[in-house]
Chains A and B, each alone.
Chain A
Amino acid sequence: AQKVTQAQTEISVVEKEDVTLDCVYETRDTTYYLFWYKQPPSGELVFLIRRNSFDEQNEISGRYSWNFQKSTSSFNFTITASQVVDSAVYFCALHSGTYKYIFGTGTRLKVLA
């Protein structure tokens, strides 16, 4: 069975703090993709990153970084020096084997000024 777990329901941090959002996935497939999407208060879903199962290199994009570890089936997302505009719900998703994309339940991040 395929599953994505985001155990952190809600996180609050003060602006400029670093924060890590956890994502743990389950799949028996050897080829799969992992994603992060952001949903700001306006409600739209914004793509952040895609990572395939053969690429365990960490990625950094500005203040955002992603740590992919197949050994622990995790794909964690870190925001460095958080800003109020980072306040959103963040979803981790898994795509493997079929046309289906499986989403986690999301983590609501509140960045306080």
Chain B
Amino acid sequence: NAGVTQTPKFQVLKTGQSMTLQCAQDMNHNSMYWYRQDPGMGLRLIYYSASEGTTDKGEVPNGYNVSRLNKREFSLRLESAAPSQTSVYFCASKGESGGSNEKLFFGSGTQLSVL
């Protein structure tokens, strides 16, 4: 049982380049999330998907797009990377509501540097 898998683990981009961060979960969770982590700012929500076919903006969506490809996969795309997008990105999925697993399960993170 892999849980939440993110790829790649590390990436260096030049300003203006595009890339997609991939995330997949094998726990049959409905809700999935993308967060970014910056020093002193904690985890900030970029986008989330409450269920397959729906996506919503979080706190810091500018410069990003997302796709909920199917129930398992939720990708994050940077169309034109900027140095301000240098960060650690975490994907997460939420366990079933009402149960003891109603919490976020996180991937291992992607460290992205934009030069």
Which A residues are within 8 Å of any B CB, using their own CB?
6, 9, 33, 35, 37, 43-45, 47, 50, 91, 93, 99-106
Counting chain B residues whose Cβ lies within 8 A of the other chain, the interface size class is 20 to 34
Q: Mark B87-109, 1 if CB is under 8 A from A, else 0.
A: 01010101000001011111011
A45 touching B90, Cβ below 8 Å: yes
A45 and B106 contact, Cβ closer than 8 Å, known pairs A99-B31, A100-B45, A100-B48: yes
Of A33, A45, A91, A99, most B-chain CB atoms within 10 Å: A99
Which B residues are within 8 Å of any A CB, using their own CB?
31, 33, 35, 40-45, 48, 50, 56, 58, 88, 90, 92, 94, 100, 102-106, 108-109
A76–B35 Cα distance when bound, in Å, is 24
